[in-house]
Amino acid sequence: MGKSPSSRAAATSAPAAGAEPPAPAREPVVVPVVIDAPQYSGLKAALGYLSERPLTPGTLLRVPLGRREVLGVAWDTRSGEDSAVPDGVTLREVAAVFDALPPLPAAWRELVDFAASYYQRSPGEVALAVLPPELRMLSATQLERRLTRLRAKLLPPSGAQGALPAPSAEQAQVLQALAASAGDAPVTLLHGSTGSGKTEIYLREAQRVVEAGRQALVLVPEINLTPQLEERFLARFPGRRVVSLHSGLTPARRLKHWLMVLLGEADLVLGTRLAVFAPLPRLGLVIVDEEHDPSYKQQEGARYSARDLAVVRGRVEGVPVLLGSATPSLESWHNALPATEGGAGRYTRLTMAARIGGGVLPTVRLVDMSRLPKEVLRDSALSPALLGALRERLARGEQSLVLLNRRGYAPVLHCTECGWKSACAHCSAWRVFHKLDRTLRCHHCGLTERVPRACPDCGNADIQPTGRGTERLEEQLALALPGARVGRIDADTTRRSGALEAELSRVHAGEVDVLVGTQMIAKGHDFRRMTLVAAVNPDAALFSSDFRAPERQFSLLMQAAGRAGRAAEQADRAEMWVQTWHPQHALYAALRTHDYAAFAQAQLAERRAAGLPPYTHLALLRADAREQSVAQAWLRVVSDEARELAEQHQVALYPPVPLSVQRVADMERAQLLVESASRPALQRFLTAWDATLRRKRPEQKGLLRWAVDVDPLAI
């Protein structure tokens, strides 16, 4: 343990005659420090450490914790908090201070505090999770050397700017509206159809902010969308410093970019959800592209929504927030609806319906699979009519996209004799057959094994693939379309660094005739030769128990349709084909007319009647254990203890149930739903319930971990 303040006074000899008396020893001060403490540790508040001098809140430092030395951040003293050290308590000293760095801004700390409070985590867990991992490995001296090298390599920004295309009439109207409201720091929902030119709006708004000496933050949902957007920004702002922030960067590069942001050297920051915590000292604008995308919700640790925190950050820092999407989330759509139309009226909505350059949205054709002969369905995943449409595109030298949101060759292998299936030994899921490397792979825990030569149960050599994935679909298309250049883009083909960019370059260069892929190719890509998009098996989401499934499916299909017909000269031939067993479903009726507003209106009416978000507010308490009975038993105990508290806050607690994928990596998972008509009431209940959850955890033997998920994406 460190020395107490009273024991630190050093004895001194009497001063020589005529000499200046020594300055009195400075009494050390207590500094609140947040560290990365996991939720189960119970360390929600800042820890006190001794420092020889006062430290500005936001200062990075290293502190001792047990036998280790960890990274920490000096934090703000809470109002009414007593900083005096209790009698009998000896505090440890700060080990090192990162003086070379400016403190993390006050607005950044306020955002972290809000996220920690709202999502029921500790400030330290949130703060340290969004800092570059490389910082944890460096000493103060090493960091100072990095900063010296970084500053030496930075070239002065020139302010040069790329050519500005003339805006369309709709773009001009949107820009005028944004300029008129910029001083009010509003939240604006830009509802622009695919190909309507939303990126040009982002570029011009960023230009306005940068020219005023401020910084712009642009969020994208996935890493694979960052490089092409970065290219657009670099081309428009060749004399400005544009940096990216996402987990796909090397640790050294991520730290370099983060340091440029904190030092105010970066003008524009592009990144995925973690970039919402970028410490920008001169923030002037936040843009969230494809704001509907579920990737903005963190699924591990602090389960925050970057889109929602972007709105909070805009309010905290007094800067405008622009949310863009062709298919907005129903929560954002409801927030942008006027109160007279049943909405919340919190956001401003601007619309761009027309495509740039005279392009039109594709004609949607539904193929009723129930009318096809069984032998056709047995031999191929593609209907004869769709194959004919693909051949027409081949003959004209045009490109097609075939969407199947399931990677691998087949979802499962099975034995025709005994019924054995390729189940995962550690998860309640099937292992997917990947033909290219002859493996069975679990997409939940990662377990990978070679395909057995015969059935493990009965020895039958005739084990067959059941169902289809993108790998099998690619093979069938190559057989059905001789001479066609068939490409595939999914998580399997883009594992290596640079693989995605290489495949996309082939598509843009016209070296691929038919592109097969999952949802990762359905959004954000500008394929100028694409005239046909086909959805092979989209019905699964229509009858899902997850109430958000129709919203996600409609968004995916609308986004995929938007890849076709982006060039005006091909717009009259643009089509989207949907193979479905339920052509009369309301979702497909809205898709045929590209009428997002009608779909949103119908979905919101259903949710209001069912008492679902955005008309009610949810949280999930999740528990993991080696046995399902243990997880559910603990959930029942903490639920029973909270009955009176729940009634007091008018909160409903539902019985615990297993997750849809009940077991992952030998851990049984269960959840308990918490519901309230009032968001503040839900927050008050969760905060009060936290003490019970921590107290009861050690009493349940076998419980591995628990977590609260506020505003969950799936139930």
Residues facing residue 619 across a β-bridge: 674, 710
Q: How far is Cα 119 from Cα 126, in angstroms, rounded to an integer?
A: 10
Assign domain 359-408+468-608 one CATH number from 3.30.1360.20, 3.30.460.10, 3.40.50.300, 3.30.43.10.
Answer: 3.40.50.300
Q: Given this model, what pLDDT does residue 82 score?
A: 56
Q: How far is Cα 117 from Cα 126, in angstroms, rounded to an integer?
A: 10
Please tell me the least confidently modeled range out of 4-18, 109-123, 625-639. Answer: 4-18
Q: Count other Cβ atoms within 10 Å, centred on residue 330.
A: 21
User: Is-contact 671 624, C-beta < 8 A?
Assistant: no
Q: Where are the beta strands (DSSP E) in 267-343?
A: 268-271, 283-289, 321-325
Residue 445 in marked binding region: yes
Q: How far is Cα 533 from Cα 156, in angstroms, rounded to an integer?
A: 46
Q: Is 107 helix (H, G, I), strand (E, B) or coil?
A: helix
Confidence of residue 156 (pLDDT cuts 50, 70, 90): confident
Residue 458 in marked binding region: yes
Residue 471 in marked binding region: no
> Topology of 617-710 in CATH?
Alpha-Beta Plaits (3.30.70)
Both tokens assigned to 522: 């359905």
Confidence of residue 567 (pLDDT cuts 50, 70, 90): confident
Chain region(s) in the chain for CATH 3.40.50.300: 169-357, 359-408+468-608
Confidence of residue 10 (pLDDT cuts 50, 70, 90): very low
Cα angle 270, 272, 273 (rounded to 5 degrees) comes to 125
Average pLDDT over residues 18-36: 75
Q: Given this model, what pLDDT does residue 520 score?
A: 85
pLDDT at 11 over 50: no
DSSP string spanning 684-696? Answer: HHHHHHHHHHHHH
Both tokens assigned to 527: 């394929």
pLDDT at 6 over 50: no
Q: How far is Cα 143 from Cα 129, in angstroms, rounded to an integer?
A: 19
Residue 68 in marked binding region: no
Global pTM value: 0.91
Instruction: Please enumerate in sequence order all residues whose Cβ is within 8 A of that of 138, keeping only pairs 6 or more positions apart, or say none.
Output: 146
Confidence of residue 484 (pLDDT cuts 50, 70, 90): very high
Cα angle 32, 38, 44 (rounded to 5 degrees) comes to 40
Residue 415 in marked binding region: yes
Instruction: Evaluate the omega torsion of the peptide bond into residue 238 and state whether it is cis, within 30 degrees of 0.
Output: no
Alpha-carbon separation of residue 435 from 289, 407, 410, 462, 474 (angstroms): 36, 11, 8, 16, 11
Chain region(s) in the chain for CATH 3.40.1440.60: 5-153
Q: Which residues of 300-327 are buried (b: 16+ CB within 10 A; e: fewer)?
A: ebbbbbbbbbbbbbbebbebbbbbbbbb
Q: Looking at the chain, how many residues does it have? A: 715
Q: What's the pLDDT tens digit per position in 333-391?
A: 999 999 999 999 999 999 999 888 777 889 999 999 988 887 776 767 889 999 999 99
Radius of gyration of the chain (CA): 29
Q: How far is Cα 167 from Cα 79, in angstroms, rounded to an integer?
A: 50
The DSSP H or E segment spanning 226 is helix 226-236
> Topology of 5-153 in CATH?
GIY-YIG endonuclease (3.40.1440)
Both tokens assigned to 561: 């349709």
Both tokens assigned to 345: 């009226």
Q: What's the pLDDT tens digit per position in 285-300?
A: 999 999 999 999 998 8
What percent of the chain is modeled with pLDDT above 70?
Answer: 94
Residue 142 in marked binding region: no
The two counts, helices (H) then strands (E), for the chain are 19, 28
Instruction: Give the CATH class of 169-357.
Output: alpha beta
pLDDT at 410 over 90: no
Q: What's the pLDDT tens digit per position in 592-610?
A: 999 999 999 999 999 999 9
Average pLDDT over residues 553-567: 89
- Going by DSSP bridges, is the β-strand pair 439-441/448-450 parallel, antiparallel, or unpaired? antiparallel
Averaged pLDDT of the chain: 90
